[in-house]
Amino acid sequence: MTAALAMAKTGEPVMTPTMASPVRCDSHSVKNIARGEHFGRSSRAIATQLSHGRVKALQPGLVASGARSACTISEGAKLPEADLCYFDKEGNVHTVKVSELTRAKKVVLFAVPGAFTPTCSTQHVPGFVAKAEELRKAGVDVLACVSVNDAFVMRAWGEQMKVGENVLLLSDGLGKFTKAMGATVDLSDKPVGLGVRSRRYAMVVDDGVVKALNMEEGGAFTHSSAEDILKCLQKHKASNVECSAGQNVM
């Protein structure tokens, strides 16, 4: 049982930075928040106030935006070193260095602004779960999602979405990896307590080097889906075949 769940069971107020979405907060989102035990009593109370109209909700379809850091990562660059955390299926917490995660492997790494938020939970992560087998057939060794959330939140999120072993959910709790990437977005002006988070992106990494990078504007979701990454992999495969064919002719 996570610390947040334990506190909720005792009736103590629990607040979490992921109780609402950086993208939108509509009636459907409010119902999901109210049902989620992992959010704690305080979050459910706020959800109830939202549903009764006592707290003004964000307009549906409001796209997350905020002050962005200058992106320092690019195709052809090596990923910055950092420690990321995750829980295994037995409930043990592990820390892995980015270099260890990517060494001698082809990795698809994608990032989301926050666990339990609507676009991340209904489109981005489920899309990669659905395409996990296709991605592995395309040569991907590791499929991982990173977010500026603590490892307990990432584990609870994965359990709710039934991610299983399809996607490795990585916690960048202090945002050190995200900052080193130049991928932060400051959502402190939003009324949902998100603070500094990660821009949404998806990338193909080969032995620690970025081969393809689809970086979104803030929390937008336009070209970082599993389908987009599959297209990148197919494009790179076709390019390699053409290069190999040219070398054989030579």
Q: Which residue numbers are catalytic?
A: 120
The closest of 128, 122, 164, 162 to 32, measured between CA atoms, is 122
**What does DSSP say about strands 184-187 and 67-68: parallel, antiparallel, or unpaired?**
antiparallel
- Single-letter amino acid, residue 137: K
| Integer Cα distance of 98 and 122 in angstroms | 27
| Residue type present at position 115 | A
User: Is the Cβ–Cβ distance between 113 and 219 less than 8 Å?
Assistant: yes
- Alpha-carbon Rg for the chain, nearest whole angstrom, is 19
Question: Which H or E element spans position 197?
Answer: strand 195-198
Q: Could you give the residue ranges of the DSSP H alpha helices within 26-107?
A: 27-35, 40-51, 98-102
**Whole-number Cα distances in Å, 130 to 74, 146, 184:** 27, 18, 27
Pairing of strands 184-187, 195-198: antiparallel
- CA–CA distance, 226 with 210 (Å, rounded to integer): 17
Give the CA count within 13 Å in the CB-facing half-sphere of 6.
4
